[in-house]
Amino acid sequence: MKVLVVGPGGREHAMIMSLLRDPHVSEVHAAPGNAGIARDVPVHPLNAQDPDAVVALARELAVDLVVVGPEAPLVAGVADALTEAGIPVFGPSREAARIEGSKAFAKEVMAAADVPTARAVATSDLAQVREAFEQFGAPYVVKDDGLAAGKGVVVTDDRERAEAHARECLDAGGSVLVEEFLDGPEVSLFVLSDGTHVVPLQPAQDFKRVRDGDRGPNTGGMGAYTPLDWLPEGFAGEVVERVARPVVDELRRRGTPFTGVLFCGLAVTSQGMRVIEFNARFGDPETQSVLAVLETPLGQLLLDAATGRLSEEQPLEWEPGAAVTIVLAAHNYPGAPRTGDVITGLEDAAREEDTWVVHAGTARDAAGNLVSAGGRVLAVVARGADLGEARERGYRGMEHITLDGSHHRTDIALDAAHGRVALPGVGAASSSPADPDGGTGADAPPTARTAEEQA
């Protein structure tokens, strides 16, 4: 089959790498791609949020499948336009993508489907925000109701800071969700759906805070790992039965079937599993780790989901061992990143055993140099027999890379590798409130990282 992958980032590069390993896939194109993607497959300039432009390119290339990576094109209706043109697309319709595009809508769907989630108040009124603060207490969780690239959440004990974030969202003409705080570790689970059937991938955990020890402001994700050996047996099956299948059934009942990947952001709390949020696409950087160990051919899976042929009977196959992803970010990220800095050492990094580099925000300058072009610039992904070996290989690869002013976390998967992740009530450290800059309290152990601080 011939596949077109729409999107510019690390998630798309990881999918392309996986598609190129699929014997069913004869050709892969990308639009608009990035410098790393351009090294691997043909790229095409494109406004990914222009449905007509995406349809025109898919027709020109005569592709058998379009895979839409980012959330914005889905909310813009790109999948709808492709479906109307008779082109198979992996990605939900505009209406189904509201599960990510509006957190209030997601809460409404979860209530109708009886899905366990945090209590919340959706409002565009500051007085109601204050009332919700009184109702739920600290730590305060305030979420921008719209798309925010993983950075629209504030979790803090500082009520003034929480109110300031809410006011900023409301002043911009939006609305917010104020939620109760969830204790316990965070889990990401991707569930493929063809609108009726659902197939879970392997759970992963990402790291949203910018600094070691889960301190500092939220980012789009600074790293991830899989598998999560500390999860209870049958966890993925529980998520399918209590979360993914009810949500997919509810969306189909509403006449807006969900076709694509439902990203379930979950908290494993002292009160049981709870949904934090949904995304309507693969997450970044979890995708890099999960696809690194997926042995089942990805292209056929995505085509089956796009064409209503997904099988729940055939179990997916996974490589043994673990995978760790470490993100390298540009100077000043998650603030306005500095771009245009030269990147070197990628070839040396990729020479490390079972290690490779996934590009996200990269480009070529006029002289042909590889330069930074975004906040999260690239990721080093490594596999190993266990998390310890995968971490060692990944960080050894990162040592080869130079980018002026860049930064990365040094503790990705560290606690899991040392068996220090525990569930609430099973020997876990108690959760500490968040500090004023959005991290955990100064004395909080790394294992106290909670799902809401990661959302």
Helix (H, G, I), strand (E, B) or coil at 180: coil
Answer whether residue 147 shows pLDDT above 80. Answer: no
Asked if residue 154 lies in contact with residue 142, where contact means CB atoms within 8 angstroms, the answer is yes
Average of per-residue pLDDT across 290-299? 98
Q: What is the pLDDT of residue 146?
A: 66
Residue 206 β-bridge partners: 224
| Lookup result for tokens 């006449």 | 255
| Lookup result for tokens 């040592």 | 399
Q: What is the pLDDT of residue 154?
A: 84
- Cα distances (Å, whole numbers) of residue 331 to 206, 210, 375, 446: 21, 12, 8, 25
Residue 141 tokens read as 């969780």
Average of per-residue pLDDT across 273-283? 94
pLDDT tens figures, 180-191? 888 889 999 999
Q: What is the pLDDT of residue 143?
A: 84
pLDDT tens figures, 106-119? 999 999 999 999 88
DSSP type of residue 378? E
Q: Which residue has the higher pLDDT, 330 or 173?
A: 330
Average of per-residue pLDDT across 208-212? 96
Name, in order, each residue with C-beta under 8 angstroms of 278's C-beta and a sequence gap of 6 or more: 99, 100, 106, 247, 262, 263, 264, 265
Answer whether residue 404 shows pLDDT above 60. Answer: yes
| pLDDT band of 331, cuts 50, 70, 90 | very high
Q: How far apart are CA 71 and CA 91, in angstroms?
A: 9
> Domain residues of the chain, as ranges?
2-94, 119-179
pLDDT tens figures, 148-160? 554 478 888 899 8
**In the structure, how many helices (H) and strands (E) does the chain have?**
17, 23
Q: Which residues of 50-85 are buried (b: 16+ CB within 10 A; e: fewer)?
A: ebebbbebbeebebbbbbbbbbbbbbbbbbbbbbeb
Answer whether residue 321 shows pLDDT above 90. Answer: yes
Q: What is the CATH T-level fold of the domain 2-94, as seen in this structure? A: Rossmann fold (3.40.50)
Q: How far apart are CA 66 and CA 87, in angstroms?
A: 7
Residue 185 tokens read as 């570790």
Specify the range with the lowest mean pLDDT, choosing from 16-20, 168-172, 195-199.
Answer: 168-172
Answer whether residue 438 shows pLDDT above 80. Answer: no
Q: What is the pLDDT of residue 101?
A: 87
Q: What is the pLDDT of residue 444?
A: 31
Mean confidence (pLDDT) of the chain: 91
Share of the chain above pLDDT 90, in %: 76
Answer whether residue 451 shows pLDDT above 70. Answer: no
Q: Quote the strand ranges of 162-271, DSSP E.
A: 176-179, 186-194, 198-200, 205-206, 209-211, 215-218, 223-226, 259-269
Answer whether residue 398 shows pLDDT above 70. Answer: yes
Provide the CATH number for the domain formed by 119-179 in this structure.
3.30.1490.20
Average of per-residue pLDDT across 245-260? 98
Q: What is the pLDDT of residue 431?
A: 32
Q: What is the pLDDT of residue 425?
A: 64
Q: What is the pLDDT of residue 294?
A: 98
Q: What is the pLDDT of residue 405?
A: 97
pLDDT tens figures, 38-51? 999 999 999 999 99
Q: What is the pLDDT of residue 432?
A: 32
